[in-house]
Structure 1
Amino acid sequence: MNGSGTPDLDGPRDVIIRVATGLFGERGFPATSMRDIAREVGMLAGSLYAHIDGKETLLLEIIESGIAEYISEATAALAGMEDNEERLRALIRAHLDVVARGPRTTKIVFHQWRYLGEENQAVVRKRRDEYEEIFVEVVEAGVNDGSFAADLDVRITVRSILGALNWTPEWLRFDGADPIDVVARQLADTLVLGLSRR
């Protein structure tokens, strides 16, 4: 049962992942123990291993799921769009929409993946590269059709945009005076301005 007295439809693994996401996002991966997670879930630490084989597995699952959400939102945002400046703006808005739904998850996805072992880091790099390539394709297309400056270094441009977006959970106020669509438009104006033809 949850706090409202209705059945909790999440299985134990879902609850563990949700709790771990909150703790990793709040305290960071190194400062969170399996005992901490177990305490929040309401089970003995040893019982966690019936559902998950370790803390790094939890981190990897959270990160992979998070990146998949970004890729899904980005792909959906581009559907039916042709103007490359508007496509880039749509990607920026889609990214912020995901951040707004889960700022703690974003901090984990883009800042705590370095705590993974090398093999799991390689898995994450591959998925991050897939997300980056969505932006690269749009910026390259914009350079080719004259929407953006011909002398842009596409890779540096995309990584600069993503670097700015990935830090938004540190300063974006989701309960602030400006709704997310206003902030997204203002941020897109700032980021896209530097790509204009010179």
Structure 2
Amino acid sequence: MQRWRCRPTELKEKIIEKSLTLFEQHGYHGVSVNEIVKACGTSKGGFYHHFSSKDELLFVIHDYFISYVLTNAQEAISASTHPAEKMKKIIQSFVKVFDLYQPHISVFYQESIYLKPPYVEAIMKKRKMYKEIIFSVIEEGIEKGVFRSELPVEITGMSILGMVNWSYKWYKRDGGKTIDEIGEIYIDLILHALLTDK
């Protein structure tokens, strides 16, 4: 019997990978657990060993990329002392997520309305943490005279989040710019908007 040839972590990744393809093709409600396990060559037991439900699978798909940007943002504020350097590192990792987790992001934004309330709450908690990190870096930059004091922190922070988040709508791996080049453009735009003459 060929089932369970993958190690547990490999099987989990395979389930996510195959479900992303199926969700993109048929939509979240157009795909059953049976179809996912068939595509993976595993059993329902294999699926439920890693995910309690298809709802949890959709949550994990989102959690992968929000955890990536949150962890990198936390590392940025710990590793750097200058607000501009912190912002640069945060933007670099933020933009990179649209390349690393492109299918995850695409599926999530199409299907997130189907998430159950407990999963929505968990997602919103991490998003709030990420937003607060960006706000805190802007506030620090203003306090140190590095960022322009006339810019409202909340509007500025939400503008950064909105601008970079919209990348999922247009970014293509075979486009004219690499993800790193796009990141540098965002950094240029954002820092030139934030920085004082100092």
TM-score (ref. length: structure 1): 0.80
- Report the secondary structure of 2:52's partner residue: coil
| Greater CA drift, 12-21 or 93-102 | 12-21
Distance in 2, Cα, partners of 1:163 & 1:25? 23
Partner of 1:52: 51
Q: State the match for 1:185 in structure 2.
A: 184
Q: CA deviation at 1:87?
A: 1.7
Corresponding residue pairs, total: 193
The verdict on how the C-alpha distance between 1:147 and 1:108 changes in structure 2, with shifts beyond 3 A counting, is: farther
The amino acid of 1:29's aligned partner reads Y
Q: In structure 2, what residue type is equivalent to 1:37?
A: I
Which protein is richer in helix relative to its size? 2
Query: Which residue identity lines up with residue 105 of structure 1 in the other structure?
Result: H
- Residues in 2 aligned to 1:51 and 1:75: alpha-carbon distance in whole angstroms: 27
1:191 CA drift (Å):
3.0
- 1:96-135 Cα shifts (integer Å, max 9, x gaps): 2222212112334566433212222111111111111221
Measured in 2, the distance between the counterparts of 1:146 and 1:111 equals: 41
The aligned counterpart of 1:116 is 115
- In structure 2, the partner of 1:74 is 73
Counterparts of 1:79 and 1:25, CA distance in 2: 37
| Residues 70 and 38 of structure 1, relative CA distance in 2, 3 Å threshold | same
1:14 aligns to what?
A: 13
SS of the residue 1:194 aligns to: helix
Unpaired stretches in structure 2, ≥5 consecutive residues: none
**1:32-55 deviations in Å (ceiling 9; x for gaps):** 332432332134668744543321
Distance in 1 between the 2:20 and 2:185 partners? 29
Alpha carbons of 1:140 and 1:46: their partners in 2 closer, same or farther (altered >3 Å)?
A: same
**Structure 1 unaligned regions, length at least 5:** 1-6
The 1:155–1:109 alpha-carbon spacing in structure 2 relative to 1, beyond 3 Å, is farther
Q: TM-score of the superposition, structure 2-length normalised?
A: 0.80
The 3 A distance-change label for structure 1 pair 11 and 84 is: closer
2-side partners of 1:133 and 1:108: how far apart?
Answer: 25
> Is the contact between residue 136 and residue 155 of structure 1 (CA under 8 Å) also seen in structure 2?
yes
